[in-house]
Amino acid sequence: MAPSSRERTSVVYIALIFALVLSAVPLPEFLAAHRPDWVALVLLYMAIYTPGHWLMTSALIAGLVMDALFGAPLGQYALALIVACYLPHKLHLRLMLVPIWQATLTALLFLAVYQFVLFWVNGATNNDIGAAFHLWPIVSAIIVWPLTLVILDTARLGRRKKS
């Protein structure tokens, strides 16, 4: 499927930087736990809708940036992003055509894998925060993912494709 001349793929990179900033913005305690995983969601979008455009490299770089921002062991977020992006990328042809509610389910599964890797590394490095902290962002994604999908699709293609 060749990118049409009206497709602006560079939008996703701008969105990725925006997502990184959103991840770093300080939020009050009661909101912070529910913050959606913006960077992961943008990379999921990239995996399904703009495959082949340096997905894994972007995941690696975005992950390392997050590790530096958050003081995490270098590679923790990168690993989580890379592992989580594998399946969506592999199945992107099928996932591309799916209606929004099913796409949201995919997003939830993707985020579950992402959070699981983070949880695993946290456990391995004796940084045990409660498991609840890993689950709230997945819940937030139920609302956030469809919005993200629509915004990024509109920005990239000019209008949401009927599917």
Partner 1 sequence: MPAGSNGVHRLSHGRALGLRTFLLSLACITLMMLDLRTDVGKPIRSVLMQITYPLQAVAALPATLANWSGDSTRSRAELALENARLKRERLLADARLQQLNVIIAENERLRAMLDARPRLGTDVQVAQILGVDADRFRNRVVVNKGASDGVVAQQAIIDANGIVGQIVSVGPYTANAMLISDPGHAIQVEVVRNGLRTVAFGAGDKDQLEIRFLPNNTDIVVGDLLVTSSLGGEFPPGYPVAEVTAVEIRPRQEFAKVTATPVAALSRMREVLLLAPLTPPAPDESNDGTE
Query: Which residues make up the interface to partner 1 (CB under 8 A)?
Result: 1-3, 17, 20-27, 29, 32-33, 35, 51-52, 55-56, 60, 63-65, 67-76, 78-79, 82-83, 85-86, 89-90, 118, 121-122, 125-130, 133
Closest distance of CB 101 from partner 1, Å: 27
* Shorter beta-carbon distance to partner 1: residue 25 or 101: 25
* Shorter beta-carbon distance to partner 1: residue 58 or 106: 58
DSSP state of 75: T
CA distance 109 to 28: 27
* Shorter beta-carbon distance to partner 1: residue 3 or 146: 3
Closest distance of CB 3 from partner 1, Å: 6
The one-letter amino acid code at 137 reads: P
Q: Which CA distances in Å does 75 have to 52, 63, 79, 144? A: 22, 7, 6, 26
Closest among 153, 116, 161, 155 to 135, alpha carbons compared: 116
CA distance 74 to 63: 9
Contact between 43 and 16 under an 8 Å Cβ cutoff? The reply is yes
Closest distance of CB 48 from partner 1, Å: 12
Closest distance of CB 71 from partner 1, Å: 5
* Shorter beta-carbon distance to partner 1: residue 40 or 78: 78
